[in-house]
A = this chain, B = another copy of it.
């Protein structure tokens, strides 16, 4: 009996675990789930005979090593900083490893050794990164095979709230880690447009958006992701003059979030002073210049927003008091947002992704959109959990069935990795809709 070992049973693992348990018999495998929280594991296994729970401190070296030695394959859904320690053991005992995290330089450096051992370390095999790579690279490879050449590639992804459950004025709820939402976009965004390098500083990020419709999911707007340039290499489109990756929000979200950024409320680099007992109103006022003017008027003048009802709805001008006794502006803002943007039991989230390609084949110009959307089933089996978990689970299944045979350290941009996974994802309703139009020329 093969043993699949999964480290971590957190929020994004529901679909992953269910899929692997559903296919455990077919794979002649058991799934051993390791976490600090036994109850969490048992909830997810839900009495399935092929599932097993283990509480283990991964820093206990000999226990961890013995465990990994007993595995057929290993999956790490731990926070990314823990992958390296797991990966080193996997290398030592020749076990393949799967993660949904960005490939770190440390893991990347293990490529040669992994090849020598004949094992696969597959990273970035979740939603974004993951499904984005596979679906985009498939189109890119097909166009290249036809002798085509790309003039533009833009790619957008968002984890949002489904329309029916979109009940607050921000049109946003926390469907994933709130801290990451509050800190999103810090640093510079780098991309290419018409051959020009473009650098958007964080303070302008949320005011330089672009809008689009996606399938029947409605209108969205996107702000730039940090580094779009590195994708030229991953996707073998080094020559491309326009490349842009962005994160999707519902319309008008960004210009309001921009106020938090410009005020300095998303700063996580320093602790505010004496916030114990401070009101939300005082918190807001601390980011605006002193004057005898009314706070609401100062806020409007600084942000340039006439309608500040979204901020009023959050209570930012109220005498509610901050629940933290210390913290950065970002931590305080998060503590204000969390109760307001919490996903309710019956809420369903929405995942949307769209690639926009422009290319030429044999002198004919094409605009090609490749899009998908998926709603969650409930607050456990969310769209996020499914789109992060299924690609990972399918990759493990395909690997165990011998349908993925590549070795070394990879992300899923190779045909012999993405093809079997994308095919299987379609069975799980993760299907891209392709809209291809011939055009006479591209706009400048």
| Contacts from A to B (Cβ < 8 Å) | 187-188, 190, 193-194, 196-201, 203-204, 208, 229, 262-264, 267, 269-270, 272-274, 282, 285-287, 289-290, 292, 329, 444
Judge whether B285 and A190 touch: CB under 8 Å.
no
Judge whether B188 and A264 touch: CB under 8 Å.
yes
Write out the residue numbers on chain B whose beta carbons fall within 8 Å of the beta carbon of A197: 272-274, 286
Judge whether B187 and A270 touch: CB under 8 Å.
yes
Closest to A292 in B: B444
Judge whether B267 and A204 touch: CB under 8 Å.
no
Q: Of B208, B263, B282, which is within 8 A of A201 by CB?
A: B263
Judge whether A199 and B286 touch: CB under 8 Å.
yes
Judge whether A285 and B208 touch: CB under 8 Å.
no
Judge whether B262 and A203 touch: CB under 8 Å.
yes
What 4 pairs between A and B have smallest CB-CB spacing? A201-B264, A203-B203, A193-B290, A197-B286
Question: How many copies of this chain are found per oligomer?
Answer: 2
Q: Of B203, B264, B285, B444, which is within 8 A of A200 by CB?
A: B264
Judge whether B273 and A188 touch: CB under 8 Å.
no
Write out the residue numbers on chain B whose beta carbons fall within 8 Å of the beta carbon of A269: 187-188
Write out the residue numbers on chain B whose beta carbons fall within 8 Å of the beta carbon of A264: 188, 199-201, 203-204
Q: Of B188, B196, B273, B292, which is within 8 A of A267 by CB?
A: B188
User: Can you sample 23 A-B contacts with CB below 8 Å?
Assistant: A187-B269, A187-B270, A188-B267, A188-B269, A190-B273, A194-B290, A196-B286, A196-B290, A197-B272, A197-B274, A197-B286, A198-B290, A199-B264, A199-B272, A199-B286, A199-B287, A200-B264, A200-B287, A200-B289, A201-B267, A201-B287, A203-B262, A229-B273
Judge whether A196 and B289 touch: CB under 8 Å.
no
Asked, given contacts A187-B269, A190-B273, whether A282 binds B203 with beta carbons under 8 Å apart, the answer is: no
Closest to A282 in B: B196
Judge whether A201 and B289 touch: CB under 8 Å.
no
Q: How far is the CA of A198 from the CA of B282 in the complex (A)?
A: 10
* Inter-chain pairs besides A193-B290, A199-B264, 4 sampled, C-beta below 8 Å: A190-B270, A197-B273, A199-B267, A201-B203
Q: How far is the CA of A273 from the CA of B203 in the complex (A)?
A: 21
Write out the residue numbers on chain B whose beta carbons fall within 8 Å of the beta carbon of A208: 289
Q: How far is the CA of A201 from the CA of B204 in the complex (A)?
A: 13
Judge whether A201 and B272 touch: CB under 8 Å.
no
Q: How far is the CA of A264 from the CA of B189 in the complex (A)?
A: 11
Q: How far is the CA of A229 from the CA of B274 in the complex (A)?
A: 12
In the assembled complex, how far is the CB of residue A170 from the closest CB belonging to chain B, in whole angstroms?
22
Q: How far is the CA of A286 from the CA of B200 in the complex (A)?
A: 8
In the assembled complex, how far is the CB of residue A317 from the closest CB belonging to chain B, in whole angstroms?
15
Write out the residue numbers on chain B whose beta carbons fall within 8 Å of the beta carbon of A262: 201, 203-204
In the assembled complex, how far is the CB of residue A98 from the closest CB belonging to chain B, in whole angstroms?
30
